[in-house]
A and B are shown apart, each in its own frame.
Chain A
Amino acid sequence: MTRAALSGKGAVLVLLGAAGALLTGCASIQQSDVEKVATTFEDPSGSPEVRCGLLAPTALVALEKDQSSPCAEAIQQLPLQGGEVSRVDIWGGEAQVRLGGDTVFLTQTHAGWRVVAAVCEERGEAPYDCEVEGS
């Protein structure tokens, strides 16, 4: 085997390793971002303005329309139970965080991960029934 072939193989291994580390690193950063947004949104002791800022625009509009009040008031009426994060799933620009007392769906926006559905009840194979839900 020539030296060029050896160094070529080495370069491929280094590239694969770097790509793997980058992907793992990205996935782990994304997981922590998603988890943080979901738990901050669900935290009843948090600032209502901050929590409302974590809603995706369509979910914010839907919440204010459903409750006929500004988000900062409406969010305090929601039965958000939060709890410990038991599982985080991220697939492309969509994510799901399962907490002890709720399941939250998030979507990736230019401003970061935002809550698109919350206060969700599981219904087997049918879509979750969510009290707060943007399109």
Chain B
Amino acid sequence: MRRHGFLRANALSLGFGAVFLATLLGQAISGTADYNAQQIADGLEPVSFLDYVTSSSFAVDVMENWQSEYLQFFLYIFATVWLVQRGSSESKKPGEEGTDTDEDQLVGPHAREDSPGWARIGGWRTAVFSRSLGLLMAALFLLTWGASSVAGWAAFNNEQLGNRQDPVSYAGYLMEADFWNRSFQNWQSEMLAVGSMTIFSVFLRQRGSPESKPVGAAHAVTGETAG
């Protein structure tokens, strides 16, 4: 087996990690400018970069996007166990719906020498490990949605006071259109993205990408990705 350096072996994670930090910084800088433009228009004083990035306004803008991304992955990971799309590189073949046999999944007595310990051990640990990716995404979704609701509540009340209106309780905020509008507008875009990726991958190709079928694969071929 050829060995690669650390950077090359982890380029995908590191690359996206770096782009994530750069875009988060971009959001913080442009968000500060946008917020201050509004402050000046309202006859209020501009805030510092530090004040903005620690404000509920920045927090809710970040959290409402994070929660929808984790919801997308959580739903997609669980949905693709049971739902298929004929011809999609994102799907298992029709007839393969479900959680597979222990033999196919290399768990318990079928585990290999290099299988993770919790895949081999059986009982609750194997049950949890068998669903750990989806469960982590679900937990991160709930955590970030909760954080989005708290930050949204603070930002909403800040706006209420600026409009000379009474602030609302947390329970009251969960009944406000603002909270649900923020949630749904992010959720719908994520569902569109995964839905269109599923169907586009039936008919379109990206040479060399594991997200695509090989260029010459038939449209009807399901679940085969380029090596």
Contacts and interface: CB of A to CB of B under 8 A. Distances in A.
Interface of A: 57-58, 89, 91-96, 105, 107-110, 117, 120, 122, 125-128, 130, 133-135
Interface of B: 42-45, 47, 55-57, 154-155, 157-158, 160-167
Nearest to A127: B164
Contact of A135 (B43, B55, B57, B155): B43
B164 A117 contact: yes
Contacts of B45: 108-110
26 contacts: A57-B43, A89-B157, A89-B161, A89-B167, A91-B154, A91-B158, A91-B160, A92-B57, A93-B47, A94-B161, A95-B161, A96-B167, A105-B161, A105-B164, A107-B162, A110-B45, A117-B164, A125-B165, A127-B163, A127-B164, A128-B164, A128-B165, A130-B164, A133-B164, A134-B43, A135-B43
A45 to B, nearest CB: 27
A92 B158 contact: yes
Contacts of B56: 91-92
- Candidate in A58, A91, A122, A133 with the most chain B CB atoms within 10 angstroms: A91
A60 B154 CA distance: 28
A93 B158 contact: yes
A92 B155 CA distance: 8
A57 B164 CA distance: 17
A105 B43 CA distance: 15
Contacts of A122: 166
